[in-house]
């Protein structure tokens, strides 16, 4: 559990730092919105977990994580949009407990955290816990969708972080990625 919280925290830190970047993200946002359907396929856990990234995002794991870690990081070139996947051995904690622990950690960093949803969802017979929130840090707002699930003897956490200047657009972009998830 500690490792999970540590890696989710690391993902939030990466986006906190990206929020400090004053790059203009309007063009990148427009490109991602128009190309959500033409994403790059990602396959993990020997094909048991797959999803598609929006155009403009690529594997940045070697730049953002330790090569031997259980974390995969995908981001756009300005690192304002990211999908972070953490795969650990299953620790048998209930999925709603994992979401509650992450909420507690996020609230410690942002007392004005906006929890949008914390609910179970089902994808082709597999239960996932979805935790959506809006985080404010350093004057920037980030949409965060975190999904927790079990695949065999592994626990998988998928965190989608997007700029939330337009919260509805960020929520839609995150949901577009979630809609591509396949678990076998």
For the chain, 184 residues long, give each residue's pLDDT as a single digit of tens. 444 444 454 444 344 434 434 333 333 334 333 334 457 999 999 999 999 999 899 999 887 666 666 899 999 988 889 999 999 998 888 999 999 999 999 999 898 899 999 999 999 899 999 999 999 888 889 999 999 999 999 999 999 999 999 999 999 999 999 999 999 9
Residues in the chain: 184
* Cβ atoms 163, 22 nearer than 8 A: no
CATH class of the 2-183 domain in this structure: alpha beta
How far, in Å, CA of 42 to CA of 53, rounded?
A: 7
List, in order, residues 6 or more apart from 52 with CB less than 8 Å away: 39, 40, 41, 42, 177, 180
How far, in Å, CA of 41 to CA of 38, rounded?
A: 9
How far, in Å, CA of 68 to CA of 173, rounded?
A: 30
Task: Return the axis-axis angle of helices 167-178 and 26-34, rounded to nearest 10°.
Answer: 40
Cα-flanking dihedrals φ and ψ of residue 86, to 5°? -120, 125
How far, in Å, CA of 85 to CA of 177, rounded?
A: 13
3-state secondary structure at position 2: helix
CA triple 167-97-74, angle to 5 deg: 45
3-state secondary structure at position 129: strand
Q: How far is CA 175 from the centre of its chain?
A: 11
* Cβ atoms 42, 52 nearer than 8 A: yes
Q: According to the model, what pLDDT value does residue 50 have?
A: 96
3-state secondary structure at position 106: helix
Hey, which residues does 42 pair with through a beta bridge? 51
């Amino acid at each position: 559990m500690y490792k999970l919280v540590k890696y989710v925290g690391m993902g939030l830190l990466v986006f906190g730092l990206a929020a400090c970047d004053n790059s203009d993200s309007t063009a990148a946002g427009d490109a991602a919105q128009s190309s959500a359907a033409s994403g790059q396929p990602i396959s993990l856990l020997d094909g048991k977990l797959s999803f598609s990234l929006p155009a403009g995002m690529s594997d940045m794991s070697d730049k953002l994580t330790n090569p031997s870690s259980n974390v995969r990081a995908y981001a756009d070139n300005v690192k304002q949009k990211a999908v972070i996947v953490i795969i650990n051995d299953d620790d048998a904690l209930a999925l709603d407990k994992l979401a509650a622990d992450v909420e507690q950690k996020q609230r410690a960093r942002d007392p004005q955290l906006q929890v949008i949803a914390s609910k179970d969802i089902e994808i082709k017979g597999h239960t996932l816990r979805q935790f959506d929130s809006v985080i404010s840090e350093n004057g920037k707002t980030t949409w965060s969708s975190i999904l927790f699930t079990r695949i065999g003897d592994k626990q998988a956490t998928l965190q989608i972080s997007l700029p939330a200047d337009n919260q509805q657009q960020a929520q839609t972009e995150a949901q577009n990625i979630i809609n591509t998830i396949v678990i076998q």
